[in-house]
Structures are given as structure tokens and as C-alpha cells.
Structure 1
Amino acid sequence: MSFFQNTCKPKGIGGKIMVHMMNTGHSSMAEWGFTHMEIQSDNVCLDIGCGGGANVRKLLEKSPYGRVVGIDHSEISVEKSKKINKAGIESKRCEILQGDVMKLPFRGETFDVITAFETIYFWPDISEAFKKVYKILKIGGTFMICNESNGENPKDEKWTKIIQGMKIYNSEQIEKSLEDAGFRGVKVDKTKKGWICAVVKKL
């Protein structure tokens, strides 16, 4: 397995290095993403594909009286995420689970906020996954997707050849899949760097 395959599902020593790199390397993009949504102090939040847990920690800071759940299919990511969110877990405000986006273990209308940073590239079927997200999001709740690649730079396609199972989506593909899942009023923002953020509410 190539080192970069760890972006999809971190494993072993290479995976541990990768989750550390993701926590630091994606922090600027994540901060930009968070500016596109309002998080209330008592919100119940979910970060899908939580990786090393840096964004779970940010969500805990932004909802000091709420609760945050992180889920990832990588054992290495779950381990790292639990480590950096130890205080939140001990205070019963945080839970980190190992699981699959296609089999989310939550009841309908559970979360006020759901985030997905740098992860939909690896979801087997985003249309079906978005339907599952729609189901567990509360009425009035917010779903945010944030990626470093907006699908408009041909040079980014090299990563889909290096990383098995990776697919880069453009704004039109993301918006259509969200609307197919039942969402309406998708708002998309992009940067000159090629970052993309899509935010939508469940009405």
C-alpha cells in the first residue's frame, strides 16, 4: 500500500503519520470552512470522517454546552481522535466511534450540525450517503462539506490515480447529490486555492 493510500483509511505507522499531517495540514481549510456556518453553544454535532480529531475538538469549543460525536472507519484515526479529545470524552460531551458512512449508527433527527472535511472523496456513493446524513439531521439543522479540491483543476486528478477509491467532485455534482437526497438551497463557496465549501440546511 502506498503512503498516500492512508488518506483514505490510515493504517499502521504510515497511518499514524498521516493523521498527524492531516490535523496540522488541513487546519487552515477547516477554519475557513467553519466561517460558513453558525454553531450554537448547545448544539449536538457530528463530524463524519473525523480523522485525527482536530475538527471534533473545534466543534467542542464552538458548542461548550453541547455534545460532539466523531466517526471514522479507520482504527488509527479513532485512536488519535480519542487521544486529542480525551477531556471531552471524560466530561461525557464527546464520543468517538469507528464506523462506516454508509451505515451510520444513529437515530433520525439526532444532530443539529453535521460536518464532512476532506472525506467525501472516499465515500462509495455520495448520493446514498447524503440521504443517510439527511435522515439523521434535525429539521433546521446544517450539513457542511469542505474539501481542498473543487474538481476544477485537472492536476488534482493525479491523486485519483495514486489513491484507490478516491473521486473528486465539482460543485455541480455535490449540489445535485444533495438535492437528490432531499436538501434544498445549497450554498457553495470557493477560493482561489481551489478549496470548496458547500453548506445546506434541512428544511
Structure 2
Amino acid sequence: MSLIKKIFANTRKPGKGITGKMMLQMMNTMHNKNAMWCLSNIEIEKAFNILEIGCGGGKNISNLLKKAPHAKVYGVDYSKTSVANSKKFNRKAVSEGKVDIVHGTVSSLPFEDEKFDLATAFETVYFWPDLVNDFKEVKRVLKPGSKFFICNELSKGEEAEKWSKIIDMNIYNKEQLKNVLIKAGFSDVISHEHENGKWLCVIARK
């Protein structure tokens, strides 16, 4: 693996050491404008149970709590480094019982059926190993009528191919995500694209 690929592999699964921690800090900063725009497209009730899948450096757990201060937010990530950093970033909310962050994978979420009112996935579905079955697993832990919220970057053509090769990721457009969501059993799929042509959010109902 080339040095560049080793560095960018930390976007997929941040590892131990300074490189992984630096990547998580960069994610918290560089993706935040996109995340805040995405969050402006969804309403969150006060007492929601929210699942943040692929919680990374923990910034979006904080963003969700700011939007819904009385919600309970659960974070899950398959990187133990991400879990540790998310807990550290949200230490006050964790100590107050507003946040619970665990190690786990989207393919087998460590939660019971129909637990959550909302599931979010910021900048992460690019890396999910089996999109249809992983979406089905998200659907399993959602309450009937609740929503799944996806926030992504958009790249097209040669740019998309370049990043797919460097990071080993799949960049989806809104039609591709809609088709997979419907195949997984979701309905009422809507999408929003930012005028900059680089940001996408998709919302689906169980």
C-alpha cells in the first residue's frame, strides 16, 4: 500500500496513533459545514432516541444535541479509536447520560429492534460493505414511521473515480441511494442537493 493510501485509509477506519487522531480532528472540522447544512433539512423532536452511525470524531453527536437538547444520542463506530475520541469530544454529555457511544458495526448493530426515532449517517455510507443489507439493519433498529438520514459529499466522473481508488470507497448519487433504500424496504425517499453541487442529503422513512 502506498503512503498516500495508508494515510487516507484512516478516513475509512481511523487507527491508533497520531495519524488516526489527526484524521478524526480533520473530519470534525472539514465536514462540519456540510453536516450543518444537511441538518437544516430535517426536524428532530425533543425526546427522540437518535442513532449516529459511524460517529467518527464525535462532532455530529454534538451537532445533534444542539439541534435537539433533550434527545438521547447513541453513537456507534467500528473503529475503537473513533469511539474513544467521540467519548472524549462529548465527555460532558456522556457524563450527564445524554450520550452513549459503543463499538460496533453497521452490519450487526448492537441494539434491539425498533429502538430509535432517527438514524443518521454522516459521510460514512461510502464505506459500508453491503449497502442493501446494511440499510436493512438500520431499518431493523428504527421504530415504525421513523427516518433514516444520510449526509454525503458529491463527486462525479473522473473525480469520483480518483477518490474511489485512493480511499477504496463508493461515491453514490441520489438516484443510487434511493434505489438501494427502496430495495431495503424504506419509503418516501426525498433528497436535497446544495447549490454548490458538492453536498447531498437523503431522507427515507421506515
Using structure 1 for the length normalisation, give the TM-score: 0.94
AA of the residue aligned to 2:70: Y
What is the rounded CA distance, in whole Å, between the counterparts of 1:182 and 1:20 in structure 2?
A: 35
Once residues 42 and 10 of structure 1 are traced to their aligned partners in structure 2, the CA distance between those partners, rounded to angstroms, is 31
The residue aligned with 2:138 is: 133
Give the residue type in structure 1 aligned to 2:117. D
Moved more, 57-66 or 68-77: 57-66
Query: Take 1:156 and 1:188, find their aligned partners in 2: how far apart are those partners?
Result: 20
Q: Name stretches of at least 5 consecutive residues in structure 2 with no aligned partner.
A: none
User: What residue in structure 1 maps to residue 153 of structure 2?
Assistant: 148
Deviations 1:47-99 (A, max 9, x none): 00000000001112222222100111111111110001111111111101111
User: Counterpart of 2:43 in 1: which secondary structure?
Assistant: coil
Among 186, 190, 193, the alignment partner of 2:193 is: 190
Choose from 107, 110, 116 the match for 1:105.
110
Of the structure 1 ranges 168-177 and 16-25, higher mean CA displacement relative to structure 2 is found in: 168-177
Once the two structures are TM-superposed, the CA of residue 169 in structure 1 deviates from its matched residue by 1.2
Deviation of the 1:154 alpha carbon: 2.8
Q: Does 1:170 find its partner at 2:173?
A: yes
Q: CA deviation at 1:21?
A: 0.1
- Write the letter of the residue equivalent to 1:180: K
SS at 1:106's partner residue? coil
**Separation (CA, whole Å) in 1 of partners of 2:36 and 2:27:** 14
Aligned counterparts of 1:94 and 1:194: Cα–Cα separation in 2: 30
CA displacement, residues 98-142 of structure 1 (integer Å, 9 cap, x when unaligned): 111101011111101110000000000111111011111111211
Instruction: Determine the C-alpha separation between the residues in 2 that align with 1:36 and 1:139.
Output: 21
Q: How far apart are the structure 2 equivalents of 1:10 and 1:57?
A: 19
Alignment of 1:58-77 (within 5 A): 58-77=63-82
Aligned residue among 153, 156, 165 for 1:161: 165
Q: Letter of the aligned partner of 2:47 in structure 1?
A: D
Q: Does structure 2 retain, via aligned residues, the 8 Å contact 1:68–1:94?
A: yes
What one-letter code is carried by the residue in structure 1 that aligns with 2:170? K
Task: Give the fraction of aligned pairs with identical amino acids, expressed as a percent.
Answer: 46
| 1:3 shift after superposition | 0.7
Q: Which residue in the other structure is 1:120 paired with? A: 125
Which residue of 1 is the match for residue 13 of structure 2? 9
3-state SS, counterpart of residue 36 of structure 1: coil
Which of 80, 99, 123 does residue 85 from structure 2 map onto? 80
In the alignment, structure 1 segments of 5+ residues that lack a partner are: none
Larger mean Cα displacement after TM superposition, 35-44 or 57-66: 57-66
Q: Deviations over 1:153-186 (max 9, x none)?
A: 431221111113x111121211011001111110
Q: Please tell me the residue identity of whatever aligns with 2:166.
A: I
SS in 2 for 1:139: strand
RMSD between superposed Cα atoms in Å: 1.2
Aligned residues: 200
